[in-house]
């Protein structure tokens, strides 16, 4: 594993990235209509459940840590 600078794609170096965090939804019917409710992930979601996605090159990578400066990503060589 190698540590990469904050807020940059570990493959192409782009700053055009997103961090994907799991969200949860439930559905039920109400008066014959389907109702969907979205829930935010708990604030203590482990980094292992998050991943980064580069809008420039399309790569996906692991989130190692989130600090005051931003996200630190890791990739396997």
Task: Tell me the pLDDT tens digit for each residue of 14-48.
Answer: 999 999 888 888 999 999 999 998 887 777 788 88
| Structure-token pair, residue 15 | 């700053």
Q: Using an 8 Å Cβ cutoff, are 14 and 55 in contact?
A: yes
Share of the chain above pLDDT 70, in %: 91
What's the pLDDT at 76? 60
Can you give the pTM of this predicted structure? 0.66
What's the pLDDT at 3? 52
């Amino acid at each position: 594993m190698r540590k990469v600078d904050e807020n940059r794609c570990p493959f192409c170096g782009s700053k055009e990235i997103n961090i994907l965090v799991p969200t949860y939804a439930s559905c039920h019917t109400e008066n014959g209509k389907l109702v969907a409710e979205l829930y935010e992930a708990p604030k203590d979601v482990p980094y292992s459940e998050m991943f980064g996605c580069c809008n420039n090159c399309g790569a996906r990578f692991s989130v190692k840590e989130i600090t005051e400066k931003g996200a630190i990503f890791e990739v396997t060589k």
